Amino acid sequence: MAIFPLFASAQAGSVLERQVKAAYLYKFAGFVEWPEGSFAKPDSPVVIGVAGADALADQLEAAVAGRNANGRPLQVKRLKRGESVAGLHMLFVSAALDKANAQEWMTACRGQAVLTVSDADESQAMGSIINFVMVDERLRFEVALKNAATAHLRISARMLQAALRVQQVAS
């Protein structure tokens, strides 16, 4: 079985698309290494923030209930504009947000050890590490290694192999 299987066709905004995004977000947590000191204790949860997508947050809560990533429980936190990103390990920024609001979230995470994920156009230019894209009616993802390096995160080679595209770090 593939680590990141290509799921059934999904139409933008559909329940199936939210389910697939939630499954990917859950899976991503197991394929990222955060720097030492990112967690207060060995059993501290991986906190996944969701900005601008309450329906996805609901789906993600159902997907992570009772599960863990690398021995850590998973916790979902809904974020409202202006809230702090302190304590987050992952942040999903929805395309439903206006560009200025999405940029605020990405800027707040800059230099922090936060895996930023978005489905917004131009999200990698804003600093997102992972971007969801629709290809042939299938949800896929792209990874920006430069943005991951800036966040001091290491992405598993297995996850990179499953990505549609990997933007390499400029040398």
pTM of the complete model? 0.90
Phi and psi dihedrals of 32, rounded to 5? Answer: -125, 140
Phi and psi dihedrals of 21, rounded to 5? Answer: -60, -45
> What structural domains does the chain harbor?
15-167 (3.40.50)
Closest CA to 50 of 81, 73, 19, 20: 81
Q: Along the 171 residues of the chain, how does pLDDT read in single tens digits? A: 345 554 444 455 588 899 999 999 999 999 999 999 999 998 999 999 999 999 999 999 999 999 999 999 999 999 999 999 999 999 999 999 999 999 999 999 998 999 999 999 888 889 999 999 999 889 999 999 999 999 999 999 999 999 999 998 654
Q: What is the CA radius of gyration of the chain?
A: 15
